[in-house]
Amino acid sequence: MSKSILNLKKEIDDKGEEKRKKIAIIGDITVYQPTSKQSDFLMDFLEKHINKNTKKVEIAGEDVYKILFKELTDMEDIDKISNEELKDILDNPSQELEEISDILLDVLYKLQKKLLRRQKNAIRNLDVASMNISLVNDIGKVIEELPDELKNQVKKNIEEQTKITKIDNKKNNVKNKENKPKSFDNKKTIKENSDTKKLEKKAK
C-alpha cells in the first residue's frame, strides 16, 4: 500500500455511509472497527456512566458487552437474550468468545482515551472563549450542557480569568489618573498667565 495521505481518508459506500473495516474474524463472527458515528455513540454511552466521585466508568459488564456485540460484531441474536442469559455466557465463555471479548475491550479502552481527549479539548476551547467577556452568555449555555465535573472546572477557570481582568483594569485606571493633569492646576495656570499679561499691558 502507498504511504500517500489520500489512503488515510475514510471510505464511503454507495449509500453515503462510512464503510466498516474488519478487525478480525473469530469462528463465524466478524468483529469490526467502530465507524465515526459508532464511536460518538459509544463515547456518549460511556460518558453517561462516569461516576462523579470516582471519575471512572462504572457499568455492568453485560450492559457493555451487549452494546459492543450489537455495534461491532455481526451477531444476529444479541437483542433476543436477557442480561441474565448474557451474564451466564460471559461467565462461561468459549475460547472464541474470549478472543472476541479481548478485541472489544481493546476497542473500548481506545474509546475511553478518545473521550478523555474530547473532554480536555472542550475545557481548553471554553477557556479560550471565556477570555472574551462578550461571549459569557453563550458560553454559559454550552457549560450547562457539560457533565458536572467539567462544568465546575470551566466555571472556576472563568471566575479566575474574570478576577485577573478586573485587577488589570484597576491598575490601568490608577496609571491613567496619575498621568492625567489635574483640571484645577490647568485653570490656575491659565489664570496666572492671563494676570501676567494684564500687568505687562499696564506697565507699558
Element (H, E) at 137: helix 136-144
Low-confidence ranges of the chain (pLDDT < 70): 1-2, 55, 57-58, 125-147, 149, 151, 154, 173-204
Shared domain check, 142 and 85: no
Domain assignment of residue 148, given as a range: 124-204
Residue partners of 122: CB distance under 8 A and separation at least 6 = 146, 150
Give pLDDT, residue 45: 86
Angle in degrees, CA 46, 102, 33, rounded to 5: 65
- Look at residue 82 and tell me if it is in a domain: yes
Give pLDDT, residue 88: 93
What is the spatial distance between Cα 119 and Cα 153, in angstroms, rounded to a whole number?
Answer: 11
Shared domain check, 85 and 169: no
The total number of structural domains in the chain stands at 2
20-63 pLDDT, tens digit per residue, is: 999 999 999 999 999 999 999 998 888 887 777 776 766 777 88
Shared domain check, 103 and 179: no
Shared domain check, 147 and 174: yes
Shared domain check, 178 and 111: no
- Look at residue 89 and tell me if it is in a domain: yes
Give pLDDT, residue 184: 45
Give pLDDT, residue 37: 92
Cell output for 165: 481582568
Shared domain check, 106 and 54: yes
Shared domain check, 74 and 20: yes
**Is the pTM value of this prediction over 0.75?**
no
User: Exposed, middle or buried: residue 40 (CB in 10 Å: 0-12, 13-18, 19+)?
Assistant: middle
